[in-house]
Amino acid sequence: MRQATTQRTAFPAERANFYGEKHMPKLFELKQEHTALLDKAEGLIATAEREKRAMTATETELANLHTKEAEKLGKQIRTVQGQNTLRADGYGFFGLASKEAETGAQAVHAAGPTTFKEAVKAASPSEVDQLKSFAAYLGGDVTALADLRPSGNGGVFIPSIVAGVVARNYAAATPVRNVSTIWSTQGGEPAVFPVISDSETAVILAPADYTGADAIVSGDTPPTAITGPEMGAFKFSSKPIFVPREVVTDANLNVLEEMFSALLARIARTQNLKYTKGTGSGEPTGFLQNATAYSAGAVALDLDIALDLAYTVPALYRPQGLYMASDLTIKYLRKLKTGLTGDRRALWKDAFEEGNASLGTPARLHGYDILVNNDMDPVAADGTFAGVSPLVFGDFKRFVVREAENGAPFSYRYDVPAKDGSAVVAFSRSDSKLVVPTAISKLTA
């Protein structure tokens, strides 16, 4: 039985938001109040049991009242959870919680707010205050949010309520980041991402053998080190956009949303390109750079080659594996026919494999998800792919994206008096590496 606790602060069921409308409190507040009500009800029951007596009429009435209120809050909690609103862990550029990343970023983003107005309705008072201050900062009030310390430069981290909405709207532009392992760091100095070998095997020890608790492990001297690739933090710039003074002065949330959708989408698209094809020289290292190559010969792509590609990846990584290709490559595969005269049936025809766009069910190939990444080169019209890698398969959790400054985009506003306005630019710092090259295979001719 739950132990009785001290009374918690009750939270109001509704609060006025940025628009003067009412919205539900944050999820953790609802859960806290829900727990407090259950504690009260069970505390009354526990008191009677401890004193070995029946509950009084007043105690019974109060316990029932607390239980009913808790049931109401339980419904509220399920509603808020179903809305999949902004992240609770603060800032995050295109960030997902671990469970969200496992279930597919596109579906997650689609479930949450897609406009600033919707997001504000579900935001906490502090998040609404951040947005108000951010709008004031863009309008010229440099004291609203900017870093005015001597070491600062007048810039500001973009509030999560802004980045979260853009993330959902542009999730399709970030397929690599959506399925990768995200390593968020406070700073951006070069650092080693720790990797432990997946291929090492155990040994059988005799009772008197070394156990590994000392400096020697049987069959492995010295002990296996935890090491990995060094990762930095390359600075991505959106390039500035000019904003006339009248636009900022008369701005509403729609204008704010348009501005930062443009800025952050620029960064997202460029990052996805580098996470895919980056050389590692002055830019992140894309997964194609170090993925294991599988040569199918000078032939046209077909479904058998796709299956062969998947089986070049070790069994350890296949259960979490997925395919990735451009729209044109996926369309080519889906249009392949049986080859029989007059037979227009597609080879890729299983209803469970094709998915259902109206239900949000993604297409699958040979039982694995296949994601669209238009930064990958497509096959030619006849299905050949000389000189490019049009299809990959593997476990993208072995591809690490490092996000400096905890993934928070940074914005800087400066006056342009010659044009009676201001300019706004956004920055984000990140790097990427495939830490286990055998976990992803790329198709080559």
Contact 41, 70 (CB under 8 A): yes
Q: Are 441 and 293 in contact (CB under 8 A)?
A: yes
Residue 117: band (very low, low, confident or very high) from pLDDT cuts 50, 70, 90: confident
The one-letter code for the residue type at 292 is T
pLDDT of residue 86: 32
Query: Of 365, 359, 327, 362, which is closest to residue 346 (Cα–Cα)?
Result: 365
Name the DSSP letter for residue 405: G
160-169 and 253-277 helices, crossing angle to 10° = 60
Residue 142 has pLDDT above 90, yes or no: no
Residues 3-27: tens digit of each pLDDT: 433 333 333 444 443 334 444 445 5
| pLDDT tops 80 at residue 75 | no
- Give the dihedral of Cα atoms 281, 287, 289, 294; nearest 10 deg: 180
**Are the C-beta atoms of residues 136 and 128 closer than 8 Å to each other?**
no
Which pLDDT belongs to residue 39?
81
* Tens of pLDDT, residues 172-204: 889 999 999 999 998 899 999 888 777 777 777
Closest CA to 10 of 38, 28, 36: 36
Give the separation between CA 181 and CA 284, rounded to whole angstroms. 15
Does residue 263 contact residue 351 with C-beta atoms inside 8 Å?
Answer: no
Distances in whole angstroms, Cα of residue 51 to Cα of each of 38, 54, 295: 20, 9, 78
Residue 407 has pLDDT above 90, yes or no: no
Please choose, from the candidates 401, 426, 404, the residue with its C-alpha nearest in 3D space to the C-alpha of residue 413. Answer: 426
Q: What pLDDT, in 10s, does the model give residues 296-341?
A: 887 899 999 999 999 999 999 999 999 999 999 999 998 888 766 6
User: What is the reported pLDDT for 47?
Assistant: 85
Complete DSSP assignment for 265-312: HHHHHHHHHHHHH-BSSSS-B-HHHHSEEEE--S----HHHHHHHHTT
pLDDT one-digit tens code per residue, 222-263: 556 667 889 999 999 999 988 887 776 665 667 777 888 889
Q: Return the axis-axis angle of helices 57-83 and 27-50, rounded to nearest 10°.
A: 160
Q: What is the pLDDT of residue 190?
A: 92
pLDDT at 415 (0 to 100): 87
- Cβ-defined contacts of 46-52 (< 8 Å, 24+): 46/1, 46/3, 46/4, 47/4
Q: What is the pLDDT of residue 27?
A: 56
> How much of the chain exceeds pLDDT 90, in percent?
33
DSSP-based three-state secondary structure for 126:
helix
Per-chain mean pLDDT for the chain = 77
- CA–CA distance, 428 with 420 (Å, rounded to integer): 28
Angle between helices 253-277 and 125-138 (to 10 degrees): 90
The amino acid present at 16, given as its one-letter code, is A
Which CATH number is 106-445's, of 1.10.10, 3.90.1690, 3.40.50, 1.20.950? 3.90.1690
Using DSSP, state whether 237 is helix, strand or coil. strand
Helix (H) or strand (E) holding 83: helix 57-83
Asked whether residue 104 carries a pLDDT value surpassing 60, the answer given is no
Q: pLDDT at position 96, please?
A: 34
| CA–CA gap between residue 73 and residue 66 (Å, rounded) | 11
Query: CA 371 to CA 105: how far, in whole Å?
Result: 11
Which one-letter amino acid corresponds to residue 135? A
Across 416-426, average pLDDT:
89
Helix axes 125-138, 160-169, angle to 10 degrees: 90
Return the CA Rg of the chain: 27
Question: Is pLDDT of 102 > 60?
Answer: no
Of 240, 255, 236, 260, residue with least CA distance to 164: 260
- Where are the chain's structural domains? 15-83, 106-445
